[in-house]
Amino acid sequence: MDDIPLSLLFGILIVLILLSAFFSSAETSMMTLNRYRLRHMAKDLHRGAILVSKMLDRPDRLLGLLLFGNNLVNIFAASIVTIIAIKLFGEIGILPASLILTAVILIFGEVAPKTLAATHPERIALLFVYILLPLSYVLYPFVWLINQIANSLLALLGIKPGAEKRNLSLSSDELRTVVDEAGKLIPRRHKKMLLGILDLSNATVEDIMVSRNDIVGININATHADIVELISHCQHTRLPVYRDNIDNIIGILHVRYLPRILKNLDEFIPEELAKITREPYFVPLGTPLHTQLLNFQRKKGRIGLVVDEYGVIQGLVTLEDILEEIVGEFTTDLQLFDQDIQPQEDGSYIIKGSAMLRDINKQLDWDLPGDGPKTLNGLILHRLEDIPEVGTSLRLGDFALEITQAVDNAVKTVQIRRLSRENGTNR
């Protein structure tokens, strides 16, 4: 060693530090690489992406290679620094030289290259893989032995690395986070639709259905004048037809078939409506929206009557209602849009008791509790455990509610003010 010139030793040291930087940056880039972008590139037959995917299939072998190489060059670097220190300062220079080497490797061999790799993982991984793959074959015996020993120790803890393929699937909540953080990569409108699709699995037909009391239908036993009035002014394309009450359902009437029997409104016979109705389609209460969307598609239907476990009709759900959960409101009838929510000059809102809590929260960006009752009326009755009188006030979190109208054992309208969280004043 005494015959080796210092210039050569310093040259070897610089090469070892560069190799340390190489292994450190390769490790960080491989481990932080976007797996989904990598999978997409591999499907497009990008050679570098295919090779990286192959190496990532066995992360234990990849880490064994990288750590073996990194530790090997760091140990050699320490040995070279020791020789240089002895040559220059004798044994007294070993400690200061070791401290200097630690700082140099930490900065130039670890922190800087790993930060660079974390910033540009794709570019570095796809470049370094052409070096790592051949190196993995050259060092395979050493890496294999290290992995066998390490995996044997892990097996004692019940862990079997490489026994199963890495799970790259995303849960619904994780996918929501990906969509939220996509930024400008996804247009805002498209992002809202994607989130709407994800929300379908968290909601049921009960969340969006028209409640039983609000179903517009034709009572075939009603007077001739009432039926004509309903048909003449109804804004729906499909109407339930029943006898006396909605539980005695006859069928679903599509208004396009009405001209067959309405050539003369003064002469038509109500019983003839039953001949042109379609068999009603019943939907169990609690059916998830994504399931019901598929059911409508399979049955070629657009309207269903929601029934509870006893077969009693609780409400009505349409294909349009589900689609609006994805794309938002697309009705062009201004009289129908937001008819349940009326803003007031003082910043409060007059809201119908039959309004769905889900719709209120979406339209006003509120957070009224929706994990129990589905309507505003149901929420108030659940909290008060009594039928409130007009003028009754209550507070739900950040919201002050006052009953403005109550009829037939139900809350008809409520005035709601949102309070500030700081001091309880109106917001």
DSSP codes joined into one string, 292-344: HHHHHHHHT-SEEEEE-TTS-EEEEEEHHHHHHHHH------TTTTTTTEEE-
What CATH architecture is 341-418?
Answer: 2-Layer Sandwich (3.30)
User: β-strands 303-307, 349-352: how paired?
Assistant: unpaired
Confidence of residue 332 (pLDDT cuts 50, 70, 90): very low
User: β-strands 218-219, 282-284: how paired?
Assistant: unpaired
The amino acid at residue 372 is: G
Q: Where in the chain is the domain with CATH 3.10.580.10?
A: 203-327
CA–CA dist 335, 332 (Å, integer): 9
pLDDT at 339: 72
> Can you tell me whether residue 382 is helix, strand or coil?
helix
Confidence of residue 335 (pLDDT cuts 50, 70, 90): very low
pLDDT at 333: 46
Question: Average pLDDT, stretch 337-347?
Answer: 81
CA–CA dist 366, 143 (Å, integer): 57
- Phi and psi angles of residue 218, each rounded to the nearest 5 degrees, phi first: -105, 120
CB atoms within 10 A of CB 317: 24
Question: Average pLDDT, stretch 95-111?
Answer: 89
CA–CA dist 198, 343 (Å, integer): 30
CA–CA dist 259, 371 (Å, integer): 45
Confidence of residue 423 (pLDDT cuts 50, 70, 90): very low
Q: Where in the chain is the domain with CATH 3.30.465.10?
A: 341-418
Residue from 228, 341, 209, 215 nearest 287 by CA = 209
Q: Which tokens hold the place of 134?
A: 């051949």
pLDDT at 295: 94
Q: Which residue has the higher pLDDT, 109 or 371?
A: 109
Domain 203-327 fold is CBS-domain (3.10.580)
- CB of 118 closer than 8 Å to CB of 32: yes
Average pLDDT over all residues of the chain: 85
CA–CA dist 90, 82 (Å, integer): 10
The amino acid at residue 80 is: I
pTM: 0.62
Question: Average pLDDT, stretch 37-58?
Answer: 89
21-30, 50-59, 125-134, 153-162: the lowest-pLDDT one: 153-162
Q: HSE (CB half, 13 Å, CA atoms) of 310? A: 4
Confidence of residue 260 (pLDDT cuts 50, 70, 90): low
What percent of the chain clears pLDDT 90, i.e. is strictly above it?
35
CA–CA dist 251, 281 (Å, integer): 9
130-149 pLDDT per residue, tens = 999 999 999 888 888 888 88
80-94 pLDDT per residue, tens = 888 888 888 878 888
Residue 90: left (phi > 0), alpha (psi -120 to 50), or beta?
A: left
CA–CA dist 341, 360 (Å, integer): 8
pLDDT at 94: 84
CA–CA dist 207, 236 (Å, integer): 21
DSSP-assigned beta bridge partners for residue 304: 317
Confidence of residue 403 (pLDDT cuts 50, 70, 90): very high
User: β-strands 238-243, 218-219: how paired?
Assistant: parallel
pLDDT at 167: 56
CA–CA dist 87, 149 (Å, integer): 39
Confidence of residue 419 (pLDDT cuts 50, 70, 90): confident
CA 194 to chain centre: 8
Confidence of residue 193 (pLDDT cuts 50, 70, 90): confident
CA–CA dist 257, 278 (Å, integer): 11
The amino acid at residue 160 is: K
Residue from 160, 162, 127 nearest 25 by CA = 127
User: β-strands 399-407, 393-396: how paired?
Assistant: antiparallel
Return the residue matching tokens 């008819």: 339
- CB of 334 closer than 8 Å to CB of 328: no
Residue from 288, 281, 285 nearest 307 by CA = 285
CA–CA dist 392, 147 (Å, integer): 72
CA–CA dist 98, 293 (Å, integer): 68
- Phi and psi angles of residue 331, each rounded to the nearest 5 degrees, phi first: -75, 145
Question: Average pLDDT, stretch 64-69?
Answer: 91
- Tell me the longest C-alpha to C-alpha distance in the chain: 121
Q: Which tokens hold the place of 31?
A: 């481990």
Confidence of residue 336 (pLDDT cuts 50, 70, 90): very low
CA–CA dist 203, 223 (Å, integer): 39
